[in-house]
């Protein structure tokens, strides 16, 4: 396979010896599917984020989908979310058979606007899915109030925010569930993987059942205890995390804080290098610990595409997070969304560039990125 040889890479994982050692340990056992490594990961991840229950899954998309199913949200129901996200957020709503209803975002943070959520609630609304964009948490206290006042569920898309907090609230504390991603470029990764956290024991039990065919006993139960008849008591999915994925993730839990500090340092470095009247940054609020998943800048919308081309011509890998979801063909065609529906999300979508950003990225690469940008912007 040919991957372009970038001078400055957008992302590189930091998996190495500890992960190899951990995978060797799992390969020495008989259980390659869900088993003790997954259980250990669930416990350690739960204590790392301060949640009561964590259920390991195959992806964050699965976590979002299962959250909706476990909360009995489906056909005929509306779910309010942000258009400034990866398509998976809205895709999971479609998978559940429900209707995504987008609302606009705050200009300062790019996060879903709680007052716009309030205004979009109808008699069909059943849930809100906020996304903690780039790692900065949404106003969960405000969203919880809005949800409670109309009896709605609150499902956090926390794919960008394992480490973050806001007003001393962490992901999973005010949401009914919080959904995490361990996709290839996320803050911890098993290539593919995800998890759902919840403080509600009944919901946790339901999520566990639905993640594996709705079976009341699993293959690893059988390996431990021998064959006993099992039953299927709900229509479940095949969304379990494997021991191999958990083995890859476990050693990374030890580096979560160190890697966050490295990304914070890199973000400060970019911020001072990019101090230029033609470049704006989204605001990091005072009460927030930013999980720093992505580092994005905002430039003049007339310069953005040219800047992307020129950066790439200089060997710098950069991207756009996100083209607003409501403007993707499927959502335009199925729901009639069009330009102008959500002006703030659209403006950020036209102005944003995501810069190379990962814990071990050399400072010299950040300097190369910054000088390329300043040069191109003139
Ligand atoms: C990556 C991502 C997802 C999907 O995660 P998967 O684990 O790939 O399913 C969902 N939402 C957001 C905001 C993401 O960035």
The two structure tokens encoding residue 150:
């109309």
Please identify, by atom number, the ligand 1 atom nearest to the C-alpha of residue 182.
7
Cα Dmax for the chain: 72
What's residue 96's pLDDT? Answer: 98
Mutation to probe ligand 1, out of 55, 58, 59, 60 (largest number of atoms < 8 A from CB): 60
Q: 55 and 208 in contact (C-beta within 8 Å)?
A: yes
Q: 3-state DSSP helix/strand/coil percent for the chain, to nearest 5?
A: 40, 15, 45
What atom of ligand 1 comes closest to residue 59's alpha carbon? 7
CA dihedral of 143, 144, 145, 146, whole degrees rounded to 10: 50
How high is the pLDDT of residue 304? 98
Determine the atom of ligand 1 nearest the C-alpha atom of 185.
1
Q: Is 71 helix (H, G, I), strand (E, B) or coil?
A: coil
Taking alpha carbons only, the member of 51, 278, 258 closest to residue 165 is 51
> pTM, whole model, 2 decimals?
0.97
**Contact status, residue 64 vs residue 86, Cβ threshold 8 Å:** no
Contacts of 172 (CB under 8 A, 6+ apart): 49, 50, 51, 156, 158, 178, 197, 198, 199
Protein residues with CB under 6 Å of any ligand 1 atom: 59-61, 85-86, 88-89, 131, 157, 159-160, 181, 183, 194
Distance 312 CA to ligand 1 centre (A): 25
Compute, in angstroms, the gap from residue 192 CA to the centroid of ligand 1: 10
Distance 64 CA to ligand 1 centre (A): 9
Range list of H helices, the chain:
17-27, 36-49, 60-70, 87-95, 114-120, 140-149, 201-211, 219-225, 243-253, 256-273, 304-313, 329-335, 343-351, 363-377
In this prediction, residue 219 carries a pLDDT of: 80
C-alpha atoms less than 13 angstroms from C-alpha of 111 in its C-beta half-sphere: 30
Q: Which atom of ligand 1 is nearest to the CA of 181?
A: 7
Tokens of 349: 């979508």
Give the catalytic positions in this structure.
Answer: 186
Separation of CA 26 and ligand 1 centre (Å)? 26
Asked if omega into 322 is within 30° of 0 (cis), the reply is yes
Atom of ligand 1 nearest to the CA of 63: 9
Cα(89) to ligand 1 centroid in Å equals 7
The segments of the chain whose pLDDT lies below 50 read none
What does the pLDDT read at residue 1? 55
Residue 106 alpha carbon to ligand 1 centre in Å: 21
For ligand 1, mutation pick of 83, 88, 90 (most atoms within 8 Å of CB): 88
User: What is the SS3 assignment for 195?
Assistant: strand
Give the residue whose CA is nearest to atom 5 of ligand 1. Answer: 60
Nearest CA to ligand 1 atom 8: 183
């Amino acid at each position: 396979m040919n991957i372009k040889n970038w001078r400055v890479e957008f992302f590189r994982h930091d998996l190495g010896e500890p992960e190899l050692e951990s995978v060797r340990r799992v390969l020495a056992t008989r259980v390659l599917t869900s088993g003790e490594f997954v259980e250990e990961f669930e416990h350690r991840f739960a204590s790392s984020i301060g949640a009561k229950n964590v259920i390991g899954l195959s992806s964050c998309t699965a976590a979002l989908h299962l959250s909706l199913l476990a909360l009995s949200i489906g056909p005929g129901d509306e779910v309010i979310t942000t258009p400034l996200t990866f398509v998976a957020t809205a895709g999971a709503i479609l998978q559940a058979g429900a209707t995504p209803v987008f609302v606009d975002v705050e200009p300062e943070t790019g996060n879903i606007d709680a007052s716009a959520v309030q205004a979009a609630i109808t008699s069909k609304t059943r849930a809100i899915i906020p996304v903690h964009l780039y790692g900065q948490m949404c106003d969960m206290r405000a969203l919880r109030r809005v949800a409670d006042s109309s009896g709605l569920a609150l499902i956090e898309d926390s794919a960008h925010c394992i480490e973050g907090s806001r007003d001393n609230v962490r992901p999973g504390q005010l949401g009914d569930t919080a959904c995490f991603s361990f996709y290839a470029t996320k803050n911890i990764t098993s290539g593919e993987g995800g998890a759902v956290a919840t403080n509600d024991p009944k919901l946790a039990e339901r999520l566990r059942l639905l993640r594996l065919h709705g079976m009341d006993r699993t293959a690893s139960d059988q390996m431990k205890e021998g064959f006993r008849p099992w039953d299927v008591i709900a229509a479940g999915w095949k969304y379990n995390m494997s021991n191999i994925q958990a083995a890859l993730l476990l050693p990374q839990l030890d580096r979560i804080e160190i890697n966050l500090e490295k990304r914070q340092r890199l973000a400060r470095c970019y911020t001072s290098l990019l101090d230029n009247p033609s470049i704006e940054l989204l605001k990091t609020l005072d009460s927030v610990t930013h999980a720093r998943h992505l580092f994005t800048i905002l430039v003049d919308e007339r310069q953005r595409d040219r800047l992307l081309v020129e950066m790439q011509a200089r060997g710098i890998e950069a991207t756009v997070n996100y083209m607003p979801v409501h403007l993707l063909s499927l959502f335009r065609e199925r729901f009639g969304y069009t330009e102008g529906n959500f002006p703030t999300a659209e403006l950020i979508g036209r102005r944003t560039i995501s810069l190379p950003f990962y814990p071990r990225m050399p400072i010299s690469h950040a300097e190369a990125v910054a000088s390329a940008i300043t040069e191109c912007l003139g």
